[in-house]
A and B are shown apart, each in its own frame.
Chain A
Amino acid sequence: MKTLVWVEHDNTSVKDATLAAVTAASQLGEVHLLVAGSGCAAVAEQAAKIAGVGKVHLADDAAYANALAENVAPLVASLMASHDAFVAPATSNGKNIAPRVAALLDVMQVSDILSIEGPKTFTRPTYAGNAIATVESSDAKLVITVRGTAFAKAATEGGSGAVEAAAGAADAGLSSFVGAEIAKSERPELTSAKIIVSGGRALKDADTFQQVIFPLADKLGAAVGASRAAVDAGYVPNDYQVGQTGKIVAPEVYIAVGISGAIQHLAGMKDSKTIIAINKDEDAPIFQVADIGLVADLFSAVPELTGKL
């Protein structure tokens, strides 16, 4: 089976999410990559070195600079004439583009897969991760998005793919990119961090969140996450949100501070290797999934913890 993998990048380097998608694709068969962007030849060079990659299709055009689905989906659909499966990481770009491709090909997409059980059989989470469905596709071609935390990352060296230019219909004229506001952070990226310190509503306000959570995270070299309640209350920007509708993470250690553990939050972090919870309510649902729990007032316990590390 020939699979085409969407390469997530920022026109300069390949993003980590791509590597998990490559691992999933290699379980299906021959792996080809698609690098679509503007001035992104360096990305294609980098992508070609990913272990197991056969060919890299490079679509370099101003129309693809910001991965607008209206421009990119027809390009992918045309490349799918010579591929059997399209695999994208379940990033915001992947989730935006893949269903548009699926509809153009008249196939049902399989979203956010956790494992590959057969050539057309996959497992995927439903109901906020409370039920794992095994589904078999009957479509001629597959369109899949891959949960990044469920597959190992492919090695970034060792491959020797050939880069080939791909031509598309370019600008569909339906949409244009106006601008972006990317939150700056010197901490590790949430979805690839080994340790995450996450705060909830109990942090009271943005200043308290900063004063309590950030020093602990910095001490541990951890990324900072948040529950929806903390984001909605404006303590931190919304790209910090961990949960069913935010980011799905599975770090080595997840430290939940002042988070009760609603099912929507658990959906985003319960595959973490070790979960540590600090909460003053000993009946909080978070303690049902926590490996290590500390029933304490976070305002005294967290600074004490930070101080003793």
Chain B
Amino acid sequence: MKILVPVKRVIDYNVKPRVKADGTGVDLANVKMSMNPFDEIAVEEAIRLKEKGVAAEIVAVSVGPQKAQETLRTALAMGADRAILVMTDDEVEPLAVAKILKGIVEEETPGLVILGKQAIDNDCNQTGQMLAALLGRPQGTFASAVTVEGDTVTVTREVDGGLETVKLVLPAIVTTDLRLNEPRYASLPNIMKAKSKPLATKAPADYGVDTTPRLKTLKVAEPPVRSAGIKVPDVDTLVAKLKEMGVA
């Protein structure tokens, strides 16, 4: 079975984003970028399935600018076999990404597509579900355990209140939650090897997808700032404050 893993280049999760003064967006110039953390988990899961003999080949895909190549090289260094970059300098919405991925799925016919549950930049949490809908395939979202048995995949999902297990008919779409696994670090020899793994470059038009945004961003603003608080010297003062507030 082949596994397709879409990955996204996003602002590093440790960086505090700064909103541009003109309200047009978040300043990404000279900011450290990395692979979306949920996508690292997706790559790791695909590699583990390959190590178990379930998967034969792992194809990493990214939709984004030329620099998204670095993100794909990271996936290759972790253990993906080859990569496809669908290059565009425009910001592409989840619906358009899902349409591009549908085109790639139809060409590559993977048994599983493993995506992150959400990207930490737009926080949408949509692409996996949209891809499943467009392909008419089942979806196992927010996965914390994935087991492939024959022509089905059993997915344990993190839901409000606990866990839920569903069985999906393959081919299927899975999106990863944080506790699915601990992604490995790429070793230096593997980073070197990744440089010679195949990376194909495509364009959204190759899949006949129009990436014109459906949502127009009118403004991006800082969230309201909380007014400065006070520090209390001891527990007694805190108790008094809580009583004042009517909490205790």
Contacts and interface: CB of A to CB of B under 8 A. Distances in A.
Interface of B: 11, 13, 16-17, 19, 25-26, 93-95, 98, 117-118, 120-134, 136-142, 144, 154, 157-169, 177-179, 213-223, 226, 229-232, 234-236, 238-239, 241-242, 245, 247-248
A290 B228 CA distance: 8
Given A130-B223, A305-B238, A92 B139 contact: no
A134 B221 contact: yes
Contacts of B144: 238
B229 A291 contact: yes
Given A134-B217, A181-B163, A290 B248 contact: no
Interface of B (DSSP majority class): mixed
A121 B217 CA distance: 9
Nearest to B144: A238
B179 A294 contact: no
A136 B164 contact: no
Interface string A162-185: 000000000001111111111100
Given A111-B126, A309-B242, A175 B235 contact: no
Interface residues of A, number: 88
A100 B164 CA distance: 19
Given A111-B123, A127-B11, A275 B229 contact: yes
A294 B130 contact: no
Given A282-B231, A293-B231, 11 more contacts: A92-B142, A127-B123, A136-B215, A173-B169, A175-B169, A176-B167, A180-B163, A231-B179, A239-B161, A287-B229, A291-B226
A69 B165 contact: no
A112 interface: yes
Interface of A: 66, 68-70, 73, 91-93, 95-104, 106-112, 121, 125-139, 173-183, 191, 195, 219-220, 228, 231-232, 237-239, 244-245, 247, 252-253, 263-264, 270, 274-276, 282, 287, 289-296, 301, 304-305, 308-309
A175 B166 contact: yes
A138 B214 CA distance: 5
A296 B235 contact: yes
A72 B234 CA distance: 54
Contacts of B168: 174-175
Contacts of A134: 217-221
A27 to B, nearest CB: 18
A238 B158 contact: yes
Contacts of B217: 133-135
A102 B130 contact: yes
11 contacts: A70-B138, A102-B126, A108-B93, A126-B122, A135-B216, A181-B162, A239-B158, A270-B226, A293-B230, A294-B234, A309-B239
A82 B175 CA distance: 31
Contact of A102 (B95, B166, B230): B95
A182 B216 CA distance: 40
A132 B241 contact: no
Given A176-B166, A180-B163, A109 B218 contact: no
Contacts of A175: 138-140, 166-169
A134 B217 CA distance: 6
A99 B178 contact: no
Contact of B123 (A126, A138, A304): A126
A173 B137 CA distance: 10
Contacts of B157: 92
Contacts of B236: 308
B125 A111 contact: yes
